[in-house]
Each structure stands twice: as structure tokens, then as C-alpha cells.
Structure 1
Amino acid sequence: MTQHPPKVKSADRVLDIFELFTGEKESYSLTEIAKSLNMPPSSTYLILQNMLNRGYLETDRSGKQFRIGFKLFTIRSGYMRNTSLTGEFNQIAERIIDDLNETVCLAIRTEDQLLYIGEKVSTHALRFNPNLGGTLPLHATASGKILLADLTPDELRAIYPSEQLEKVTNNTIPTYSDLLKELEKVREQEFGYNMGETVDGVHCVAGAVRDADGRAAASVSISIPVVRITDEVWDNVHNWIRRSCEELSYKVYRQY
């Protein structure tokens, strides 16, 4: 006689909800979730509220559409800190901090957001403090532009179906047309720039960490308050971005 492992019904339902988000849709309503998983709406509501409170789900402005929340990205970033990519990044970032003492970040793309998976923060009182495991709109960041520049026109349009783009500061790129022009510059220069588009008064330079196929798998960036930028510092930042991206690309993706 075959013995089946014991099941916890509520845990199964939570996992079923997570697995629902591996499909084609990014968000679902309460009714859609209950119907898709053949669950009573009343118990579905209670489970969703618990997942919302714990940060595993979030809602849109109407409060009626549910999507994956920040907590899963935080867990994912914690896991990725133990990978060779973040391990190698930490060693390089230590050298950058010793030389420049400016904040260094490692980031990847998750759908239409930039996810920070590594950081070394400046010891200056005035500094950029990234939120490890946090996300920002791709088009508003230097690293995001690096990762977007690698995408096809169809992939870009899928991320940005509208002409107007979300604004983080008054300097954020406002339209899709402006973004396309900016990405052309990124491809030519091989650097991405954020000139106060995420935080007023902070400039950032980013480069691509490329996999064995030459695709941008991640991005390294250095952020500096404008008051500390000189021509010499700016040149040094570009040199470090170039060197660190080449080193990470080789050590993580191409050495084998």
C-alpha cells in the first residue's frame, strides 16, 4: 500500500497561489484566484490578506488586483548573495570602496524592475544608500538602462506599452520615445547614466556584466553625490566600472 505524505491544506493553498503567478498573467483578482484554484472566496480572501500583510503579495491602487510582493525578491536576493556572482562582486566592490569610497551596487532585471542583489556602501555621511532586495523602475536607473539596452524592440515594448513613463524625480526620463533615444546612447557608449533620475543630487554610472553569450546578465554601478564629482573622480569611476564588469564577466561566466 502506497503511503502519501501528509498535507497541510492551508499551506497547499498558499503554494497554489504562488504557482498561479508562474503563468502568463502578472496579477489576478480575488475572484480569478478563487475560481482558478477551486477555492472558496471567503477562505481565499483570508489567505490573500495574510500574504499581503507578510509582504508576499501586493495590490494595485484599486486594492483589487494581486501580484507578487517584495518579500519574495528579498528572499531571492538573499539566496543570490551566496552565488559566485555576488561573491566575486563583493571582492571587487571592496577594492572600489578602498579607492573611491563611493557606493557600489550589483543589480539584475526582474520583469520591469531593477533588483539590487549586492552592495558596498560609502562611509561618507552624504551617500547613496541602496535598498538591498529592493526594486526601482528600470528606466530611472543607470543599471536599468544597461539591461534595457540589450533587449529587442518587442521585449522593450512589452515592458513599456504606454508612451508615458513612471517618474521617480523630475529628472526621470518621461516618455518611451525619450527612452529609446537614451538606449541608443547606452549601446554606443557602453555605459548607462543616471543623472539625478532616482535621487536628486546623486549621479550614477553603470556597465554590463555579460554572460558567455555576450548578453547583459547583471550590472555594476557606482553612485556619487554631485558635490563630490570632479573630472578626475568621474574618469576613475568609468575606469572602475569597465574593469569590474570585465572581471566579473570573465570570472563568473567565461572562465569555463
Structure 2
Amino acid sequence: MAADVGSNQSVERALTVLRVFTAGRSELRVSDVAKLADLGLSTASRLLATLEAAGFVDRDPVSGLYRLGLDTVSLAGAVLNGHPVHREARQIAQNLAAELGLGVNVAVRREATLFYLLNFEGRQAPRSFVLSGQRNPLHATGLGKSLLTGLSAAERRALLPASGLVAYTPKTVTTHEQLDAAVELTLSRGYGTEIEELAHGRACVAAPIRDGSGAVVAALSVSGPLSAIDLQHREAELSRCVIEAADSISIGLGYVGPAHHISSLETAR
């Protein structure tokens, strides 16, 4: 039993070390890892050496800095390729990004945050980094509000305490009353918008994705600079594209629409 406890602690510490590299800086010294992971210097050094031997971290021979190794990409690829939403959404999102010239993102909810499964950049919305695997707040994003349409107002309050509705810009939703209104608007229209709530100069249009049971399991958005999104003139066009893309993914996941579920319930009665 003592050996099992020690092994479990080693695994947990190794995972903590790996997660340190996803929190911001991509290259770290041993001392940085030790501090961020709350480990002793010798423990951090030993764990990094083990992870390096396994291919999960790489060490620059000149600077001595550590970064995540390429073997982590193999794990990430296997996870994404096995995820049903990613499989159904990938080509649809890629085609939409090429058609509109904007960024197209697909995310799922992971507890109280949204988690990006994939993103493609259009020519008007370039990025120098990959969003996949990153997280953002639910209340300050169009994707998040679309994901929250699958929860009741009481469930949203239990998931997101009022103290967690942080203001990222002056336009961020910061009360549950405001969030309720935004989610209800998304439900009634079939799409939601977000204008400079998470970052200045950025906007998006998003819609929920449902599975065969009708549950909201993901969301899709088009995003980019305010000048490219241009909601004043493009809202009708972009909302149509987003809803059609989200519906196509939903159909691929087995969703057949609310009318079918209503008739099925009536037949069951």
C-alpha cells in the first residue's frame, strides 16, 4: 500500500509539472518549474529528467530551459481524433473559415470554463498560435453563452458564482441577471453575439451544437477583429452561416431537431 501511495504521488507530481507548461510561459528553468509546481528543486529536477527521457519534455542544450516535448502532440492528436465533436466539426469549420475569411472555433464546456477543441484562421483573422487546448471564461464569450444555453438559470448560478463573473473589459457581463438575458437571447434567436467582452477590438457570433439526445455538447463561433466581423452590416449573414454550420455538426452527432423529440414524446404517451 505504501508503494502504491508513493507511485500515485509521483504520477500526480509529474502531471503537475506538465501542466505548469500550459499556464503561460513555454520555456522554463528547473527553478521555475519547482516554484510553479510547489516542489523541491531536486524533486522537480528528477521529474523533468524522467519526462525528458520519455519524450514529454525537451531541454535546450544551450540555455538549459525546458519546454513540452513533441510526444505530447501525439497524445493530443489521439484525444482529438477520438472526440466525436472534433471529428464531425473539423471539415465544416475549416470550410467555413476559408469561405468567410474569419476565425472559426469549436469548444466544449469543461466544468466552469470553455475548452477549445479546434480553430481555423481565415485571412482576415490571423493568429500566431493555436487555440486548441486553451480555456476561456463562459460568461465573457459568445461560445460560452451558447454552451450555457444547455443549463437552467439555477444550474448556471451553481456553476458560476457571482464572484467569478470577472470583468475583462467594460463591456463584460458581470451579473447573473445580465447573463440570463444574454443566454435567453441566444436561445430565442439560435445564435449569440459577443462584442469586446473578453478582449478589446474583437467580436464573434456563436451557436450551440447538440447531440442525438438534444443536449448542448459544444458550440461553434466565427470570430475576428471588429472591422472584419462588422456586425452592423454582417450579422444576418454571419448568424445564418454559424447556425447552418452548428446544425450540420449536430446532425452528424445524431440530432434530428426539436420537432422529432416532441413527436417522439407524444407517441410515447
Q: After TM superposition, is the score higher than 0.5?
A: yes
Q: Which residue of 1 aligns with 2:217?
A: 217
Of the structure 1 ranges 137-146 and 94-103, higher mean CA displacement relative to structure 2 is found in 94-103
Q: Which residue of 2 aligns with 1:244?
A: 245
Q: Which residue of 2 aligns with 1:235?
A: 236
For residues 109-124 of structure 1, the aligned pairs below 5 Å read 109-124=109-124
Q: CA deviation at 1:232?
A: 5.2
Q: Which residue of 2 aligns with 1:180?
A: 180
For residues 132-151 of structure 1, the aligned pairs below 5 Å read 132-151=132-151
Q: Which residue of 1 aligns with 2:167?
A: 167
Task: Indicate the percent of aligned positions where both proteins have the same amino acid.
Answer: 23
Unpaired segments ≥5 residues, structure 1? 1-6, 18-46
Structure 1 residue identity aligned to 2:244: R
Of the structure 1 ranges 96-105 and 148-157, higher mean CA displacement relative to structure 2 is found in 148-157
Q: Deviations over 1:205-226 (max 9, x none)?
A: 1111111121111001000311
Question: 2:51 aligned with 1:55, yes or no?
Answer: no
Q: CA deviation at 1:136?
A: 0.7
Residues 162, 230 of structure 1: CA spacing in aligned structure 2 closer, same or farther, 3 A cutoff? closer
Question: Structure 1 CA distance, aligned partners of 2:194 and 2:81?
Answer: 25
SS of the equivalent of 2:19 reads coil
Q: Which residue of 2 aligns with 1:12?
A: 8
Q: Which residue of 1 aligns with 2:191?
A: 191
Question: Structure 1 CA distance, aligned partners of 2:122 and 2:141?
Answer: 19
Contact 2:102–2:121 (8 Å) recurs in 1: yes
Contact 1:126–1:225 (8 Å) recurs in 2: no
SS of the equivalent of 1:214 reads coil
Question: Structure 2 CA distance, aligned partners of 1:156 and 1:52?
Answer: 29
TM-score, length-scaled by structure 1: 0.69
Contact 2:212–2:254 (8 Å) recurs in 1: yes
Question: 2:83 aligned with 1:83, yes or no?
Answer: yes
Residues 58, 129 of structure 1: CA spacing in aligned structure 2 closer, same or farther, 3 A cutoff? closer
Residues 11, 169 of structure 1: CA spacing in aligned structure 2 closer, same or farther, 3 A cutoff? farther
Question: Structure 1 CA distance, aligned partners of 2:126 and 2:105?
Answer: 17
Q: Which residue of 2 aligns with 1:35?
A: none
Of the structure 1 ranges 199-208 and 103-112, higher mean CA displacement relative to structure 2 is found in 199-208
Structure 1 residue identity aligned to 2:210: R
TM-align CA RMSD: 3.3
Unpaired segments ≥5 residues, structure 2? 24-34, 39-67, 257-269
Contact 1:103–1:128 (8 Å) recurs in 2: no
Q: Deviations over 1:42-98 (max 9, x none)?
A: xxxxx4xx5544216999xxx99x9xxxx9xx9668612443421221211222122
Contact 1:104–1:220 (8 Å) recurs in 2: yes
SS of the equivalent of 1:139 reads coil
Question: Structure 1 CA distance, aligned partners of 2:232 and 2:129?
Answer: 23
Question: Structure 1 CA distance, aligned partners of 2:176 and 2:144?
Answer: 14
Contact 2:85–2:218 (8 Å) recurs in 1: no
TM-score, length-scaled by structure 2: 0.66
Which structure 1 residue ranges, 4+ long, deviate > 4 Å from structure 2?
7-10, 56-59, 74-78, 125-130
Q: Which residue of 2 aligns with 1:32?
A: none
Q: Which residue of 2 aligns with 1:27?
A: none
Residues 94, 57 of structure 1: CA spacing in aligned structure 2 closer, same or farther, 3 A cutoff? closer
For residues 26-65 of structure 1, the aligned pairs below 5 Å read 47=13, 51-55=15-19
